[in-house]
């Protein structure tokens, strides 16, 4: 940002370099505000209008409900924003730009902003998850933005409408690139899912639909139980890992999120060496297979190389794969649809809340081929996983690029 003039961005298109300072406005000066209306009693899956609710906006339009009641119709270029979310939620102040007339109707707890004195696209980029709105989330209570909260939101934007449009066009082009890469990622994931359906026997069968040529005459896969294949250890219950014993540095405590998201970049809790030695039977290290068994059931991850030695908590199972079985194949066969159904059937109450007991998990059946066929399948799917990971990383890099670009394209207010 220019030191002499705080409302000039760091990056500016050359054609606008002499346009001078941007201006600070509040939303009420830039758009008309209207609260959405209730549609819950009028949902009709064959309805004419899409109901824009929090789920619709938070999933970028993937989850949809329909109605024939246009209680709050939206016009093209209107901006729709989520007003209510759970503590630390990711939907609060998330926005959606209406792309056509008379197709969307706005639900309650969503507001409709009709731009009057600003380009719709630049207004979207300025409002979407704006830090001003996020500060209303105290992390404890449900966040509910009021109309005055929205209308008093301060924004800085160029005076020249053409500069607004140029910035919006630049960011929109980058969004299109990100969307294209996201679609490619979805296609890769769907391809893997279809491949797994062909490489693993389906329910009631003992031979997969597709088999590598060298294994075509190997006969049926063999029935095993999880207990035949793995030694299972569940994390300790009770006060073994109570918060009072945690230290700032030491041995890591592995939690459910590590299995669900395969994210080993950070740990919240650590224990000292004495406690680690006491809980050694629950220890994990690089290469170990872990499974979530509380809250969200049946998600798997292999602890990567060069990550911290530590112990699992009660929300995780450690699966030590026995000799004669391929660890990566075991993980992948447990992730196959039919085996996921078996695992989820063990959830307490059928609500995917908790595993009933380790002994019940041990008795679940698996079908396995020879070790060489296991390794071949694992190698094939691992290669595809590497491509999927590379594509996901590419998307994250594009998002980081967009974030940095926006920081340069929009000045910030200096108090």
How far out from the chain centre does Cα 141 lie?
Answer: 22
Same domain for 359 and 227, yes or no, is yes
Residue 99 lies in a domain: yes
Residue 312 lies in a domain: yes
Q: Do 361 and 343 touch, CB atoms closer than 8 A?
A: yes
Residue 231: its pLDDT value, please? 93
DSSP secondary structure letter of residue 322: P
Residue ranges for the chain with pLDDT beneath 50: 1-3, 350-353, 414-415
CATH code of residue 251: 3.90.220.20
% of the chain with per-residue pLDDT over 70: 95
* 240 token code pair: 């073994």
Residue 203: its pLDDT value, please? 85
Residue 373 lies in a domain: no
Residue 415: its pLDDT value, please? 43
List the Cα angle 275/281/286 in 5-degree steps: 95
Residue 104: its pLDDT value, please? 97
Same domain for 361 and 258, yes or no, is yes
Residue 88: its pLDDT value, please? 86
Asked which of 113, 138, 157 is the last residue of a domain, the reply is 157
Q: Do 223 and 243 touch, CB atoms closer than 8 A?
A: no
% of the chain with per-residue pLDDT over 90: 73
Residue 16 lies in a domain: no
Residue 209: its pLDDT value, please? 94
Residue 47: its pLDDT value, please? 94
By three-state DSSP, how is residue 70 classified?
Answer: coil
Range of the domain at 83: 23-157
Residue 350: its pLDDT value, please? 46
Residue 111: its pLDDT value, please? 97
Give 357-409 pLDDT, tens digit per residue.
Answer: 788 888 889 999 999 999 999 999 999 999 999 999 999 999 999 999 999 99
Count of structural domains within the chain: 2
């Amino acid at each position: 940002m220019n030191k002499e003039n705080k409302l000039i961005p760091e990056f500016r298109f050359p054609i606008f370099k002499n346009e001078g300072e941007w201006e600070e406005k509040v939303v009420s000066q830039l758009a008309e505000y209207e609260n959405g209306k209730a549609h819950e009693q009028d949902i009709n899956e064959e309805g004419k209008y899409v109901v824009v609710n929090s789920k619709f906006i938070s999933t970028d339009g993937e989850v949809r409900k329909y109605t024939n009641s246009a209680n709050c119709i939206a016009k093209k270029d209107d901006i729709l924003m989520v007003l209510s979310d759970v503590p630390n939620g990711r939907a609060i102040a998330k926005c959606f730009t209406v792309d056509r007339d008379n197709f969307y109707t706005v639900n309650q707890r969503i507001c409709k902003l009709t731009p009057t004195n600003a380009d719709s696209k630049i207004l979207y980029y300025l409002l979407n998850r704006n830090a001003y709105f996020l500060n209303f989330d105290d992390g404890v209570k449900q966040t509910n933005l009021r109309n005055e909260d929205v209308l008093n939101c301060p924004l800085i934007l160029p005076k020249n409408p053409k500069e607004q449009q140029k910035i919006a066009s630049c960011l929109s082009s980058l969004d299109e690139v990100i969307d294209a890469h996201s679609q490619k990622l979805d296609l890769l994931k769907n391809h893997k899912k279809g491949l797994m359906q062909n490489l693993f026997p389906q329910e009631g069968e003992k031979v997969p639909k597709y088999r590598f040529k060298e294994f075509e005459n190997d006969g049926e896969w063999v029935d095993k139980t999880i207990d035949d294949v793995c030694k299972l250890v569940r994390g300790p219950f009770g006060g073994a890992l109570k918060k009072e014993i945690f230290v700032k540095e030491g041995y890591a405590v592995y939690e459910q999120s590590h299995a669900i998201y395969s994210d080993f970049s950070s740990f919240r809790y650590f224990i000292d060496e004495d406690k680690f030695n006491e809980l050694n039977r629950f220890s994990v290290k690089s290469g170990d297979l872990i499974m979530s068994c509380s809250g969200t059931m049946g998600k798997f991850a292999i602890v990567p190389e060069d990550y911290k030695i530590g112990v699992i908590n009660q929300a995780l199972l450690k699966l030590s794969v026995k000799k004669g079985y391929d660890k990566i194949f075991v993980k992948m066969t447990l992730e196959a649809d039919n085996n996921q159904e078996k695992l989820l059937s063990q959830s307490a109450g059928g609500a995917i809340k908790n595993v009933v007991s380790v002994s019940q998990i041990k008795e679940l059946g698996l079908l396995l081929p020879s070790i060489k066929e296991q390794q071949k399948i694992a190698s094939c799917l691992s290669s595809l996983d590497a491509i999927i990971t590379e594509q996901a990383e590419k998307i994250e890099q594009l998002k980081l690029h967009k974030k940095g670009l926006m920081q340069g394209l929009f000045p910030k207010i200096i108090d």
